[in-house]
Structure 1
Amino acid sequence: MQTRIGAPTLTIEKARQEASTVFLAKVFNWMAIGLALTGGIAYLTASTGLALSLVASPMFFVLILAELGMVFYLSARIEKMQPTTATCLFLGYSVLNGLTLSTIFLAYTRTSIAGTFLITAGMFAAMAVYGLVTRRDLSGLGSFLFMGLIGVILASIVNIFLKSPALYWGISMIGVLVFVGLTAYDVQRIKQIGEQGIMAQGEVAIHKGAIIGALALYLDFINLFLMLLRFSSGSRD
């Protein structure tokens, strides 16, 4: 006579995995929407010549400050927001980022931008898969990567005044490593959120969780792209 003691456990584990898969799909869908919106706005802004006017205007710095404010506000207040508000902030941030990123078309050729995008997509996908399948707990890596991110930001600010080529390339290389690591870390973290029952908390929690998860992955992708673009040979300089 066969025993079925393990059957309930297997059923629960399968349900958790299925819930996590559905949640991850929602996160990646919103991330893709954000990236598509940013890319489309950046291309149109550059094609119409508005990028050149924008970079020469004080409005460029206003947009950057607005972007930072939206990211911090969305991250800090997501739990108290309505889903529609969270969605509008994420999409609004994607639009603003498209406007500011349009200026890369002034510094790099379209071929180099497209090539770097494909490389970024490949690296991002590889690390996302690693984050999904690895049995290693990456939670301890998060604190280390966050420290690295702070270091990159501070060094970048310092180099605005030093203008050191060596520091510039050092920041770029470390930045690539940081955002590659953050991609795996964030994907694993989002997977765990899906496994821990967010799909049973109602549409409001699911939607807000998907938006904040999409924002994290969106930022990982964009920053990895910008770091890799520094190594492009297609500069207009």
Structure 2
Amino acid sequence: MQERQFISPAAIEQKEVSGVLRNTYGLLAMTLAFSGLVAYVSQQMRLPHVGPLVTLVGFYGLFFLTMKLRNSGWGLISTFALTGFMGYTLGPILNLYLGMANGASIISSAFFMTALVFFGLSAYVLTTRRDMSFLAGFITAGFFVLLGATLVSLFFHISGLQLAISAGFVLFSSAAILFQTSAIIHGGERNYIMATISLYISIYNLFLSLLQIFGIMGRDD
């Protein structure tokens, strides 16, 4: 007579968490590589920037499409479409900084700082397993504050506002990375496609914000 092996609910949950983490970071690595390749091609070909309106429409359109398809294989295709589109928009921005005397060092500094922040924050949550759900209110409030500040910057030229907005986005993106990583390991996020998109957007915003900060500091030198 065979004995049935009992698997505790905690073990089942841990297996699910491990699966989501593995799939999320695997897909994140692929989308970052694909986005970087598209950005490189866009930068080398000196393709024009599509403008803020097309960028917003393209981003939110592909984002909501990915949300709708997140439970199917088509969700993977829309994920690569979204990250590829954002990579395309990054190419012309990189060319603007490469036109500066120290543009290459600004880009490399922003890249390595982004990698350091992301891996540092992710490692902190994964090793301590702290519940970062308390950051939800901060992230929600931060989104509306940054949205309002960005709208103000479009119509009024206020000294130091752009630097403050960029610094705010660094904090916002860092909090989002902590929150999303915690949501995965504590069961708040079980869809690896949405987890990947959330982390990708945070990394993208973090890189752009650091790029702007280093660019402003470089111009002051």
- Could you say which TM-score interval applies, normalised by the shorter chain? 0.7 to 0.9
Q: Is 1:26 paired with 2:19?
A: no
Q: Is 1:232 paired with 2:221?
A: no
Q: Write the distance in 2 (CA, Å) between the matches of 1:115 and 1:128.
A: 20
User: Where does residue 65 of structure 1 map in the other structure?
Assistant: 57
Displacement after TM superposition at 1:63 (Å): 4.1
Coordinate RMSD, CA, aligned:
2.6
Structure of higher RCO (CA pairs closer than 8 Å, 6+ residues apart): 1
Q: Write the distance in 2 (CA, Å) between the matches of 1:165 and 1:90.
A: 38
Q: Write the distance in 1 (CA, Å) between the matches of 2:157 and 2:73.
A: 43
Pairs within 5 Å for 1:198-209: 209=191
> What secondary structure, in the 3-state scheme, does the structure 1 residue paired with 2:187 have?
helix
User: Where does residue 110 of structure 1 map in the other structure?
Assistant: 104
Q: Is 1:48 paired with 2:30?
A: no
Map Cα deviations across residues 72-112 of structure 1 (whole Å, 9 max, x no partner).
3323x24xx65222111111011111111112222212332
Q: Write the distance in 1 (CA, Å) between the matches of 2:118 and 2:104.
A: 21
> Is the Cα contact below 8 Å between 1:107 and 1:236 reproduced in 2?
no
| 5+ long unaligned stretches in structure 2 | 1-5, 98-102
| 5+ long unaligned stretches in structure 1 | 1-7, 199-208
- State percent identity of aligned pairs: 25
Q: Write the distance in 2 (CA, Å) between the matches of 1:135 and 1:96.
A: 33
User: Where does residue 212 of structure 1 map in the other structure?
Assistant: 194
Q: Is 1:152 paired with 2:157?
A: no
User: Where does residue 204 of structure 1 map in the other structure?
Assistant: none
Q: Write the distance in 1 (CA, Å) between the matches of 2:219 and 2:84.
A: 25
> What secondary structure, in the 3-state scheme, does the structure 1 residue paired with 2:213 have?
coil
Q: Write the distance in 2 (CA, Å) between the matches of 1:165 and 1:14.
A: 55
One-letter identity of the residue aligned with 2:88: L
> Is the Cα contact below 8 Å between 1:41 and 1:99 reproduced in 2?
yes
Number of paired residues?
210
Q: Is 1:99 paired with 2:88?
A: yes
**2:158 corresponds to which of 144, 147, 164:** 164
User: Where does residue 186 of structure 1 map in the other structure?
Assistant: 180
Task: State the TM-score, normalized to the length of structure 2.
Answer: 0.83
User: Where does residue 3 of structure 2 map in the other structure?
Assistant: none
Task: State the TM-score, normalized to the length of structure 1.
Answer: 0.78
